[in-house]
């Protein structure tokens, strides 16, 4: 299940994709982990008052999928994340999950043995909810 790509075998254009589930239990656990008690994520009445159809999923819970994208898929086992840029394009709702997460290798830096991985996440309505890029090194 866990890829183990080494730097030399990764090619620009290489793509990895997986399904990321978000449910109420994960929202509850993320609240506990982060300490973020903002009601937008857990109080449906408040979320509706603010114009959303349901609770908005924590952005950083969505972005937890990037840990998996790097650590399990590209490059997998040898991954060490240097930096991440994330844009939250649209609110994520549990009723429109799971998300499809895709990463594509856009660049390789031979000097530092790092790759730039662009990523996108789509909900079940095929709406792009999140995109960005990561710089990832290799522990080899």
Interface residues with a second copy (CB under 8 A) are 1-2, 20, 26, 29-30, 32-41, 50-51, 56, 58-61, 63-68, 71-72, 76-77, 79-88, 132, 139
- Residue closer to a second copy by CB (options 13, 16) is 16
Give least dist CB 53 to a second copy, A: 14
Give least dist CB 7 to a second copy, A: 15
Question: How far is Cα 73 from Cα 14, in angstroms, rounded to an integer?
Answer: 11
- Residue closer to a second copy by CB (options 13, 35) is 35
- Residue closer to a second copy by CB (options 40, 104) is 40
Question: How far is Cα 70 from Cα 66, in angstroms, rounded to an integer?
Answer: 6
- Residue closer to a second copy by CB (options 36, 120) is 36
- What is the residue whose two structure tokens read 């990037």? 66
CB 108 within 8 A of CB 12: yes
Question: How far is Cα 99 from Cα 119, in angstroms, rounded to an integer?
Answer: 12
β-partners of residue 135 are 83, 116
């Amino acid at each position: 299940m866990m890829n183990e790509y080494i730097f030399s075998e990764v090619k620009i254009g290489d793509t990895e994709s997986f399904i990321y589930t978000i449910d109420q239990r994960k929202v509850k656990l993320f609240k506990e982990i982060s300490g973020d008690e903002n009601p937008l994520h857990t109080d449906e009445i408040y979320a509706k008052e603010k114009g959303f159809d349901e609770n908005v999923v924590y952005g950083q819970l969505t972005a937890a999928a990037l840990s998996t994208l790097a650590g399990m898929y590209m490059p997998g086992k040898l991954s060490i994340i240097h930096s991440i840029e994330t844009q939250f394009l649209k609110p994520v709702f549990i009723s429109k999950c799971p998300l499809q997460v895709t990463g594509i290798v856009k660049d390789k830096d031979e000097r530092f043995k790092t790759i730039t991985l662009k990523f996108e996440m789509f909900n079940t309505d095929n709406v792009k909810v999140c995109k960005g890029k990561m710089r990832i090194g290799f522990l080899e």
